[in-house]
Amino acid sequence: MENRILGLHHVTAIAGSAQRNLDFYTRILGLRFIKKTVNFDDPHTYHFYYGDYYGTPGTILTFFPWEGAASGRRGTGQATEVGFSVPAGSLDFWLNRFTEQGIIYNKPAKKFEEEYLTVLDPDGLKLELVVSSTPDNRIGHTTDQITDRQAIKGFHHVTLTLSSIKPTADVLTEIFGYKLVAEHVNRYRFATDAIEGAAIIDLVEAVGENRGQVAVGSVHHIAFRVKDDATEMKFREIIERKGFQITPQIDRNYFHSLYFREPGGVLFEIATDNPGFTADEPLEKLGTELKLPPQYEPRRKEIEQALVPLT
């Protein structure tokens, strides 16, 4: 892999009930629960990670479950849709599954000649299951009810809704190396050829729409992928020279991160592949134990008592 932005690394959103979130993403969607830890800034709140079996960047959806917090509102200045890639011919399976489970969804439609199914998670986060028009050879996580003929492969795209797309588009093209590949009405599709999957960002220009509110049922930030620390720090220099306020590198245990807010208001992160999710537990046991950042390990008993029990 080159010294480039390698598409999406992860997306982090906000949930309400921790148990309800866990049930939906593992039992209904079939993602693997790969890490149970806590919010670095609020250790009495969980941080859940879901993805493929290996915890591969480009498949990782994470959540801060804040019990009893207010719901967010979709609008401008937000990531408003998270798209997952699913196998061709699988949408009927998902339609039947959502119907049986009482999940809210819309009938399949087409966007840029790709068939997709919109579904809302229990907190109202808008998800799309997309049959990609280009080959996606990633292997999804399977369960006793979801086979590799239906399993979610990882991210297909993320949609940002903005009052004006140009400043954000400039970040994607001039800094991150994306190119405009398609447009329809007010939706503009940008993609990178640096990676096969998780390579698309859609920008929707919603002039005059109210600004969104990030809370329960909303995306908190989206993270772009780089292979290592050296590449990440080169991007930090570039972003700083462009006049953006960007954080120092922060160790998130499973990746190293930089954060800055793009001109449209969405919080962007750049995250490394290293050290990965097996840094503190073996692959076969990912997500089975509560893992704490080192600074919180002395407070384990207090933190465990404060967290909502999970089944």
Q: What percent of the chain is modeled with pLDDT above 70?
A: 99
**Cα–Cα dist 302/311, whole Å:** 20
Q: What is the DSSP letter of 284?
A: G
Domain residues for the domain of 29 are 8-306
Total structural domains within the chain: 1
In a domain, 253, yes or no: yes
- Contact present, 47 and 64 (Cβ < 8 Å): yes
Q: What is the DSSP letter of 185?
A: T
Q: Residue 271 forms beta bridges with which residues?
A: 225, 257
Is residue 2 over pLDDT 90? no
Closest Cα partner for 181 from 204, 159, 202, 158?
Answer: 202
- Contact present, 68 and 210 (Cβ < 8 Å): no
In tens, the pLDDT along 227-254 reads: 999 999 999 999 999 999 999 999 999 9
User: How high is the mean pLDDT of the chain?
Assistant: 97
In a domain, 3, yes or no: no
| Residue that the structure tokens 């250790």 belong to | 43
In tens, the pLDDT along 37-62 reads: 999 999 999 999 999 999 999 999 99
> In this structure, are strands 60-65 and 8-15 parallel, antiparallel, or unpaired?
parallel
In a domain, 82, yes or no: yes
In a domain, 311, yes or no: no
Closest Cα partner for 20 from 46, 43, 58, 53?
Answer: 46
In a domain, 209, yes or no: yes
Mean pLDDT of 258-270: 98
In tens, the pLDDT along 73-98 reads: 999 999 999 999 999 999 999 999 99
In a domain, 35, yes or no: yes
Tokens (6 digits) for 44 = 């009495």
In tens, the pLDDT along 167-211 reads: 999 999 999 999 999 999 999 999 999 999 999 999 999 999 999
In a domain, 286, yes or no: yes
Residue 299 CB neighbour total at 10 angstroms: 14
Is residue 1 over pLDDT 70? no
Q: What is the CATH number of the domain that holds 28?
A: 3.10.180.10
In a domain, 274, yes or no: yes
Tokens (6 digits) for 217 = 């049922």
